[in-house]
Amino acid sequence: MKYGILVNEGPYQHQASDTAYQFCKAAIERGHEVFRVFFYHDGVNNGTRFGVPPQDDRNITVRWTELAEANNIDLVICIAAAQRRGILDEGEAKRQGKDGENIAPGFRISGLGQLIEAGIQCDRMVTFGD
């Protein structure tokens, strides 16, 4: 089956991103396809590569990047939520006149249409939030 995932909360503050990750991993292990993970609201904070958690703790962002690269998952960050919170890719940084970008590998910034599309194309949509 084809799965779409919605993550509404940032890393380390709530369990949502951890649960979503474990769910995706289990779904892939059962032979399903995770088509897209859409990061919305504070969930966009999962997509900064500037986080440096202690070495004995999980790195939630790196974990998403690695899972996406290994399984061809589309990690999409909501553009409006990202702008409010300072999550930028190169194009956005240029467009907004900012002096840097911080998006993590494997993530891309796009719009809510990507969430709707996932809802249409996927057999299941599963939401994780606070």
Partner 1 sequence: MLHTVNKSPFERNTLTACLGHALPESAVLLIEDGVYAAMNGTAFEKDVRKAMEDRTLYVLGPDLLARGLTADQVIDGIQVVDYEGFVELTEKHDKVQAWL
State the Cα–Cα distance between residues 59 and 52, nearest whole angstrom.
8
**Helix 16-29 to helix 60-71 angle, to the nearest 10 degrees?**
20
Shortest separation between residue 107's beta carbon and partner 1, angstroms:
22
Shortest separation between residue 127's beta carbon and partner 1, angstroms:
4
The verdict on 1 binding partner 1 (CB under 8 A) reads yes
Total residues interacting with partner 1, rule: CB under 8 A: 22
Applying the rule CB under 8 A, the residues between 10 and 49 that interact with partner 1 are: 15-16, 19, 22-23, 25-27, 29-30, 32
Q: Which is nearer to partner 1, 29 or 99 (CB)?
A: 29
Give yes or no for a contact between 92 and 101, defined as CB atoms under 8 angstroms apart: yes
Is residue 24 flagged as an active site residue? no
Applying the rule CB under 8 A, the residues between 101 and 130 that interact with partner 1 are: 123-130
Of 103, 130, 125, whose CA–CA distance to 6 is shortest? 125
State the Cα–Cα distance between residues 57 and 114, nearest whole angstrom.
31
Q: Which is nearer to partner 1, 32 or 108 (CB)?
A: 32
State the Cα–Cα distance between residues 81 and 60, nearest whole angstrom.
19
Q: Which is nearer to partner 1, 3 or 64 (CB)?
A: 3
* Catalytic site positions: 78
